Amino acid sequence: MEKNSISDLTEWKTVKNHFEEIKSINIEKLFAKDNKRGKTFSLYEDGIYFDYSKNQLTEESVDLLVKLAKKVSLGEKIEDLFNGGKVNATENRPALHTVSRDVFSDKSVISGTDVEQIVSSTYKKMQKFSNGIVSGERKGGTGKRIRNIVNIGIGGSYLGPLMSYCALKRYGSEGINQYFISNLDRTFSENVYKKLDPEETLFIIISKSFSTKETMMNAGSAVDWLSNRLKITNPIKDHFIAITAKKDNALAFGIQEDNVFEIGEWIGGRFSVSSAVNLSLMISLGREKYDRFLKGFHSVDNHFRYAPFRRNIPVLLGLIGIWNRNFFGRSAAAVIPYGEELKYFTKYLQQLEMESNGKSVDINGKSVLIDTVPVIFGDRGTNAQHSFFQLLHQGTDIIPVDFIGFARSGKGRDEFHDMLISNMIAQSEALAFGVEEEKLRINGRDEKIIPHLVCRGNRPSNTMVMDELSPYFLGKLIAIYEHKVFVQGVIWNIDSFDQWGVESGKRLSEKIFSELNSEKPDVKNHDSSTNALIDHYIKLKNKD
Q: Which residues are catalytic?
A: 355, 386, 506
Strand 332-337 relative to strand 375-377: parallel, antiparallel, unpaired? parallel
**Could you give the CA distance from residue 189 to residue 158 in angstroms, rounded to a whole number?**
14
Strand, coil or helix: 83: helix
> What HEC string does 12-41 produce?
HHHHHHHHHHHCCCCHHHHHHHCCCHHHHC
Instruction: Give the contacts of 285 (CB within 8 A, at least 6 positions apart).
Output: 168, 171, 172, 173, 293, 471
Cα radius of gyration rounded to whole Å, the chain: 25
**Could you give the CA distance from residue 44 to residue 132 in angstroms, rounded to a whole number?**
40
Q: Which CB contacts under 8 angstroms, 24+ apart, belong to 191-199?
A: 192/150, 193/225, 195/148, 196/148, 196/150, 197/144, 197/147, 197/148, 198/225, 198/226, 198/229, 198/230, 198/239, 199/140, 199/141, 199/142, 199/144, 199/230
**Could you give the CA distance from residue 279 to residue 244 in angstroms, rounded to a whole number?**
12
**Could you give the CA distance from residue 153 to residue 181 in angstroms, rounded to a whole number?**
7
- CB contact at 8 A, 414 and 405: no
